[in-house]
Structure 1
Amino acid sequence: MSTELIIKVTTEEGEKIDLQLIESFVIEGQKYSLLSPVDDDENAYVYKAIDLGENKTEYEVVEDDHIFNMVLDEYEKMFN
């Protein structure tokens, strides 16, 4: 049985894609998630995780390079 968390997101073009949760981090009080396309180990995206309550979370793509790099730095620290 797989314990992978798959998150469905809708792109700006309206296309629905499945992303696999790699890891989540809290940085400066905000939760961010590192996600990767299900069949693509080469690419990863950073999303801001917004808690909507009632076990619902909205994911907003992070386009800020500074935040993206902070999340990647936290991820890399896991392996050092």
Structure 2
Amino acid sequence: MLNCIQLLKVSLSKMELSFAKMLVLFAEISSTFSEMAVLFSFFHFLLFVRYSRLIWLFFFICFRQKKELKQTFV
């Protein structure tokens, strides 16, 4: 989860600071992928279309890392 948040901070460095802070705050609060998916659906309708691809990329990376962690412990 920490790697996802660090990646998001780097990716959002060129965007509006308030948007980056808000998204990182919600990502840190969310502890499971399902909660983050609910937050994403909320952001998807409220934020500009140009941010959609970056947000999708963030959740895809988080999901992939979570899947890799499950395979490691199985």
Using the size of structure 2 for normalisation, the TM-score is 0.33
Between Structure 1 and Structure 2, which shows a larger proportion of helix residues?
2
Between Structure 1 and Structure 2, which shows a larger proportion of strand residues?
1
**Larger RCO (CA under 8 A, 6+ residues apart):** 2
Using the size of structure 1 for normalisation, the TM-score is 0.31
